[in-house]
């Protein structure tokens, strides 16, 4: 028997091995095998059997690691697709799809017993009771046993310990129920439960308004036909998108299918997961970066074994081993964080459409500010638009005032200051948004005019007053601050630009009695700190929340009636064709935090250029106007959705080698393009906007094509023919999101 194996190395092809007789029953697709590879022994992933192979000197596999397959045939097909689309080795894709805990490779291992699947960790077992095959019986059961049975049926499955907690000793009754076939008992492994501390309050579905209802009906129609449909749930902030997700998931579960929910990592807060738990109780698995390897692995196993009907996670959850998926939800589909920026550079939002297609599922992309490309896809009917144009319960959108800051040196304008004072005095809450952490954006030498910048990265250092350091936000390089000018030794350094730390100190001066919180990556590094800050906003023990983009998204604080935006155009200067789109999205999201409760909201947007269309449309709640203008711009310059992009990144520690390699690659690309007559624009090589990053020099070649097919042809041919110098790294990014 010959099998195909993917090996987690940067090799494009898969490998063939023979299977010795003793392993023939175990060497099945989806399991890991130990194989000889050169002089090493490696863990590979069995893909399937092959009928013929050109080589006749195949090696034998040494062992099979798992007693149960890690993946189904469907999942393997999805991973093959992913590997092929992103031009990434399949073995690497499979390795990335596994939780860290499982990759702890066991080299010795007896053949495939369960200790291996559990990563060598001891697992406790416990008895669970489930409803049995018998529904009704004429036999005598006893009232108490019936009560217990009702609970077993209600929960679907319940650990014996929970039953004891509820009913005291009840083994005679349980024994009787099992005898009669009304209940069955299973010995199961116990999993660490990441929810164990949370108290769950049950809630019930809300009465939907007419827009929510028609969105749900459309999704429901797709669910009952089990036919792939991709929806764009376009609902303004506070329009009740989450309620639509929850009810759509209920329908999917009632249909006997499972649900996969992807959210940006930052939104994966107890507030959101709590809403799912309140609605559905148990049976939810959560995958986020805060889990330990052990917890993550437990969640993975629970999903694999069908013990979770709903999986909620950040981008990597798109690879969750969930079977029989009826619905996939991508919340905040416009978020850049669905794209992985190194290694396997996949986009979970895009892959959701692929996996949904393979599973005949409904895919719901939800956002108040969809991607420009999604709007275009909906216009072309490639996505089915579901509109929620109003806030729930007829709550008005907040009124927004733009404050022109030209000529002003203030961080907080007089208008915003007055409104803040008023809000706090009235016992209401405010959010002040500034997308820059630290105290000053940077320090400038007063005598030679040099700005303090990072020696490893081409960016300025940010001055953090509390830590008394100037810090690089990319590599964490830090020097004591204010300090002296490294260029001329002068001691007088001027602070330029404001960050959240400075904003906090100014607000404290302005409102000494207000309870002010700051939320940015400096204040949220500790475990649970994120949640603590947010819960102080929800329980009303804080008046003002200051923060970076971390506070812009998803949070629902009904007490917030005022929002202030400082330096609204901060993102517009980025050398990125998506700068306007991102600014519009971020501003609309921040503005949308105001007035979500009973009192209407008010927003002040401070900017130097208040007339820029991104700022103007966000402030005027004119999304349609923005998208139209942005699509015109994209068409004019030929960027997505009017073209397809790939970036070839070339980086290394030796500047010469990097630029030589970049030149050579561009030349090769040009030759291939001409030979194959491909309609692909080759832009560059050019230094990346952040030319040095953590000491590495970075160049980019941007490829812009009319069709995906031509783009792929070019990149594949280039990869086959190019050789990277040993000091240089080259990486292909298909559909790049981060162009910095
Ligand atoms: P979005 O996700 O669109 O910003 P949410 O789903 O968070 O909006 O809904 C905003 C608030 O309105 C939440 O507190 C939610 O419980 C509530 N809500 C949602 N749908 C309804 C409804 N049909 N009737 C009343 N309240 C609703
Ligand atoms: Zn740096």
CATH number at residue 146: 1.10.10.10
Greatest mean pLDDT range, 277-286, 488-497, 721-730? 721-730
Q: 327 CA distance to ligand 1 centroid (A)? A: 20
Q: Is the pLDDT of residue 111 over 80?
A: no
| Ligand nearest to the CA of residue 389, numbered in listed order | 1
Q: Going by CA atoms, what residue is nearest to atom 22 of ligand 1? A: 208
Q: Which residue has the higher pLDDT, 200 or 57?
A: 57
Mutational pocket test of ligand 1: of 243, 329, 367, 591, the residue with most ligand atoms within 8 Å of the beta carbon = 243
**Distance separating alpha carbons of residues 599 and 588, to the nearest angstrom:** 19
Domain-located, residue 200: no
Which residue among 574, 606, 636 closes a domain?
Answer: 636
pLDDT band at 116 (very low <50, low <70, confident <90, very high): very low
> Where do runs of H (alpha helix) occur along 592-725?
613-619, 623-637, 655-676, 708-721
Q: Which residue has the higher pLDDT, 199 or 212?
A: 212
Q: Going by CA atoms, what residue is nearest to atom 19 of ligand 1? A: 240
Q: Which token pair is 252? A: 């999917």
Greatest mean pLDDT range, 270-284, 483-497, 536-550? 536-550
**pLDDT score recorded for residue 126:** 76
* Nearest ligand 1 atom, CA 208: 23
Residue ranges with CB less than 5 Å from ion ligand 2: 454, 456-457, 472, 474-475, 477
* Nearest ligand 1 atom, CA 207: 23
391-410 residue pLDDT tens: 998 899 999 999 998 878 88
Average pLDDT over residues 382-388: 97
**Distance separating alpha carbons of residues 709 and 679, to the nearest angstrom:** 10
Mean pLDDT computed over every residue of the chain: 88
**pLDDT score recorded for residue 168:** 85
- Residue 688: which CATH number? 3.30.70.600
Domain-located, residue 194: no
pLDDT band at 256 (very low <50, low <70, confident <90, very high): very high
Please indicate, yes or no, whether residues 110 and 134 belong to a single structural domain of this protein. no
Q: 478 CA distance to ligand 2 centroid (A)? A: 8
**pLDDT score recorded for residue 184:** 82
Q: 176 CA distance to ligand 2 centroid (A)? A: 68
Domain-located, residue 202: no
Mutational pocket test of ligand 1: of 203, 211, 237, 240, the residue with most ligand atoms within 8 Å of the beta carbon = 240
Q: Is the pLDDT of residue 8 over 90?
A: no
- Which H or E run includes 375? helix 372-379
Q: 288 CA distance to ligand 2 centroid (A)? A: 27
Please indicate, yes or no, whether residues 244 and 389 belong to a single structural domain of this protein. yes
Percent of the chain past pLDDT 90, that is, above it, reads 58
Please indicate, yes or no, whether residues 631 and 650 belong to a single structural domain of this protein. no
* Nearest ligand 1 atom, CA 241: 3
**Distance separating alpha carbons of residues 517 and 541, to the nearest angstrom:** 10
User: Over the range 170-206, which residues count as b (16 or more CB within 10 Å of their CB) and which as e?
Assistant: beebbebbeebebbbeeebeebeebeeeeeeeeeeee
Q: Going by CA atoms, what residue is nearest to atom 14 of ligand 1? A: 556
| Ligand nearest to the CA of residue 472, numbered in listed order | 2
Domain-located, residue 626: yes
Domain-located, residue 25: yes
Q: 255 CA distance to ligand 1 centroid (A)? A: 24
Domain-located, residue 416: yes
- Residue 87: which CATH number? 3.40.1440.60
**pLDDT score recorded for residue 340:** 95
**pLDDT score recorded for residue 103:** 57
Percent of the chain past pLDDT 70, that is, above it, reads 95
- Which H or E run includes 243? helix 241-254
**pLDDT score recorded for residue 670:** 97
Average pLDDT over residues 579-589: 95
Please indicate, yes or no, whether residues 463 and 558 belong to a single structural domain of this protein. no
Parallel/antiparallel/unpaired status of strands 362-367 and 229-235: parallel
- Residue 553: which CATH number? 3.40.50.300
**pLDDT score recorded for residue 648:** 97
Residue with tokens 């298909």: 734
Please indicate, yes or no, whether residues 431 and 448 belong to a single structural domain of this protein. no
476-506 residue pLDDT tens: 888 888 788 888 888 888 887 889 999 999 9
pLDDT band at 202 (very low <50, low <70, confident <90, very high): confident
**Distance separating alpha carbons of residues 737 and 315, to the nearest angstrom:** 14
Q: How many residues does the chain have?
A: 740
Average pLDDT over residues 328-332: 97
**pLDDT score recorded for residue 183:** 87
Domain-located, residue 451: yes
Q: Going by CA atoms, what residue is nearest to atom 13 of ligand 1? A: 240
Q: Which residue has the higher pLDDT, 10 or 512?
A: 512
**pLDDT score recorded for residue 465:** 84
**pLDDT score recorded for residue 113:** 35
Query: Which pTM does this prediction carry?
Result: 0.84
| Ligand nearest to the CA of residue 453, numbered in listed order | 2
Q: 514 CA distance to ligand 2 centroid (A)? A: 36
**Distance separating alpha carbons of residues 325 and 178, to the nearest angstrom:** 32
Please indicate, yes or no, whether residues 151 and 228 belong to a single structural domain of this protein. no
Please indicate, yes or no, whether residues 552 and 626 belong to a single structural domain of this protein. yes
Q: Is the pLDDT of residue 106 over 60?
A: no
Q: Going by CA atoms, what residue is nearest to atom 10 of ligand 1? A: 238
* Nearest ligand 1 atom, CA 388: 3
Average pLDDT over residues 279-306: 86
Please indicate, yes or no, whether residues 326 and 356 belong to a single structural domain of this protein. yes
Across 252-256, 488-492, 657-661, least confident range = 488-492
**Distance separating alpha carbons of residues 101 and 115, to the nearest angstrom:** 13
**pLDDT score recorded for residue 201:** 66
Average pLDDT over residues 181-185: 84
Q: Is the pLDDT of residue 105 over 90?
A: no
**Distance separating alpha carbons of residues 199 and 191, to the nearest angstrom:** 18
Please indicate, yes or no, whether residues 382 and 243 belong to a single structural domain of this protein. yes
Q: 533 CA distance to ligand 2 centroid (A)? A: 29
Please indicate, yes or no, whether residues 174 and 143 belong to a single structural domain of this protein. yes
**Distance separating alpha carbons of residues 188 and 124, to the nearest angstrom:** 8
* Nearest ligand 1 atom, CA 212: 23
Q: 392 CA distance to ligand 1 centroid (A)? A: 6
In which domain, by residue range, is 446 found? 441-494
Query: Which bin fits 326, alpha (ψ -120 to 50), beta or left (φ > 0)?
Result: alpha
Q: 692 CA distance to ligand 2 centroid (A)? A: 8
* Nearest ligand 1 atom, CA 331: 2
> Is residue 392 a contact partner of residue 213, using CB atoms and an 8 Å limit?
no
**Distance separating alpha carbons of residues 260 and 311, to the nearest angstrom:** 5
611-647 residue pLDDT tens: 999 999 999 999 999 999 999 999 999 999 999 999 9
Mutational pocket test of ligand 1: of 242, 246, 391, 553, the residue with most ligand atoms within 8 Å of the beta carbon = 242
Question: Omega of the bond prior to 685 within 30 degrees of 0, cis?
Answer: yes
Q: Is the pLDDT of residue 304 over 50?
A: yes
Q: Going by CA atoms, what residue is nearest to atom 12 of ligand 1? A: 240
**Distance separating alpha carbons of residues 321 and 304, to the nearest angstrom:** 5
Q: Which residue has the higher pLDDT, 273 or 118?
A: 273
Tally of domains in the chain: 6
Domain-located, residue 158: yes
Pocket, ligand 1, Cβ cutoff 6 A: 206-209, 212, 235, 237-243, 392-393, 556
Please indicate, yes or no, whether residues 298 and 367 belong to a single structural domain of this protein. yes
What does the DSSP assignment read for 491-552? S-EEEEEE-HHHHHHHHHHH-TTS-EEEESTTTS-STTHHHHHHHHHHTT--SEEEESGGGT
**Distance separating alpha carbons of residues 117 and 121, to the nearest angstrom:** 9
Which residue among 615, 636, 657 closes a domain?
Answer: 636
**pLDDT score recorded for residue 211:** 97
Please indicate, yes or no, whether residues 59 and 157 belong to a single structural domain of this protein. no
Average pLDDT over residues 433-455: 84
Q: Is the pLDDT of residue 557 over 60?
A: yes
**pLDDT score recorded for residue 200:** 58
Which residue among 155, 189, 223 closes a domain?
Answer: 189
Across 134-143, 564-573, 695-704, least confident range = 134-143
Number of H helices and number of E strands within the chain? 20, 30
29-77 residue pLDDT tens: 999 999 999 888 888 999 999 887 777 788 999 999 888 899 999 999 9
Q: Going by CA atoms, what residue is nearest to atom 17 of ligand 1? A: 240
Across 350-364, 491-505, 692-706, least confident range = 491-505
């Amino acid at each position: 028997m010959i099998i195909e194996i993917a090996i987690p190395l940067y090799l494009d092809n898969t490998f063939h091995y023979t299977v010795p007789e003793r392993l023939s029953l175990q060497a099945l697709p989806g399991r890991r095998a130990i194989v000889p590879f050169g002089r090493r022994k490696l863990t590979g992933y069995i893909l399937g059997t092959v009928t013929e192979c050109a080589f006749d000197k195949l090696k034998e596999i040494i062992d099979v690691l798992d007693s149960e397959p890690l993946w189904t045939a469907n999942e393997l097909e999805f991973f093959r697709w992913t590997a092929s689309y992103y031009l990434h080795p399949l073995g690497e894709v499979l390795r990335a799809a596994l939780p860290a805990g499982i990759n702890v490779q066991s080299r010795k291992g007896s053949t495939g017993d369960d200790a291996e699947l559990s990563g060598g960790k001891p697992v406790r077992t416990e008895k669970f009771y489930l409803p049995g095959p018998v529904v009704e019986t004429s036999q005598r059961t006893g009232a108490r046993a019936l009560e217990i049975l009702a609970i077993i049926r209600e929960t679907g499955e319940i650990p014996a310990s929970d039953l004891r907690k509820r009913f005291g000793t009840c083994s005679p009754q349980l024994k009787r129920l099992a005898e009669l076939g009304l209940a069955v008992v299973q010995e199961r492994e116990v999993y660490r439960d990441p929810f164990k501390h949370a108290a769950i309050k049950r809630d019930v579905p809300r009465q939907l308004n007419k827009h929510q209802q028609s969105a749900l009906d459309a999704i429901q129609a797709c669910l009952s036909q089990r036919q792939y449909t991709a929806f764009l749930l376009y609902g303004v902030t506070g329009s009740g998108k989450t309620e639509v997700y929850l009810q759509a998931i209920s329908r999917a579960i009632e249909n006997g299918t499972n649900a996969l929910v992807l959210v940006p990592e930052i939104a994966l807060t107890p507030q959101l997961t709590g809403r799912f738990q309140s609605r559905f109780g148990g049976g939810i698995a959560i995958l986020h970066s805060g889990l330990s390897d052990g917890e993550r692995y437990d969640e993975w196993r629970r999903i694999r074994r069908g013990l979770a009907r709903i999986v909620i996670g950040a981008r990597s959850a798109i690879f969750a081993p969930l079977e029989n998926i009826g619905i996939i939800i991508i919340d905040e589909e416009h978020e850049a964080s669905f794209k992985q920026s190194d290694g396997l550079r996949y986009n979970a939002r895009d892959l959701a459409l692929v996996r949904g297609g393979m599973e005949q599922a409904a895919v719901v992309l939800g956002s108040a500010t969809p991607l420009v490309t999604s709007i275009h896809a909906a216009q072309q009917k490639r996505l089915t638009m579901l509109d929620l144009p109003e806030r729930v319960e007829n709550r008005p959108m907040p009124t927004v005032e733009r404050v022109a800051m030209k000529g002003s040196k203030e961080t907080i304008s007089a208008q915003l200051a007055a409104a803040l004072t008023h809000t706090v005095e009235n016992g209401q809450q405010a959010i002040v948004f500034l997308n820059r952490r630290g105290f000053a954006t940077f320090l400038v030498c007063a005598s030679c005019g040099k700005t303090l910048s990072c020696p490893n990265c081409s960016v300025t250092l940010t001055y953090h007053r509390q830590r008394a350091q100037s810090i690089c936000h990319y590599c964490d390089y830090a020097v004591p601050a204010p300090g002296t000018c490294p260029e001329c030794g002068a001691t007088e350094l001027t602070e330029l630009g404001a960050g959240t730390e400075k904003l906090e100190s100014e607000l404290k001066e302005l409102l000494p009695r207000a309870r002010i919180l700051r939320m940015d990556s400096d204040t949220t590094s500790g475990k649970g700190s994120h949640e603590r800050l947010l819960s102080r906003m929800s329980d009303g023990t804080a008046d003002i929340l200051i923060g970076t983009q971390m506070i812009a998204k998803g949070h629902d604080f009904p007490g917030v009636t005022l929002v202030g935006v400082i330096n609204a155009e901060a993102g517009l200067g980025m050398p990125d064709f998506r700068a306007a789109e991102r600014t519009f999205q971020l501003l609309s999201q921040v503005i949308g935090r105001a007035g979500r409760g009973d009192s209407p909201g008010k927003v002040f947007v401070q900017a130097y250029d208040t007339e820029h269309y991104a700022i103007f449309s966000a402030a005027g709640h004119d999304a349609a106007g923005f998208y139209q203008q942005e699509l015109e711009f994209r068409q004019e310059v030929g960027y997505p959705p009017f073209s397809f992009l790939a970036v070839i990144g070339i980086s290394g520690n030796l500047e010469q080698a990097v630029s030589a390699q970049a030149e050579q690659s561009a030349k090769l690309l040009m030759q291939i393009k001409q030979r194959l007559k491909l309609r692909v624009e080759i832009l560059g090589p050019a230094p990346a906007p952040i030319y040095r990053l953590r000491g590495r020099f970075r160049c980019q070649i941007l490829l812009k094509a009319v069709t995906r097919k031509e783009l792929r042809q070019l990149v594949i041919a280039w990869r086959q023919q190019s050789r990277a110098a040993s000091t240089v790294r080259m990486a292909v990014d298909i559909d790049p999101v981060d162009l910095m």
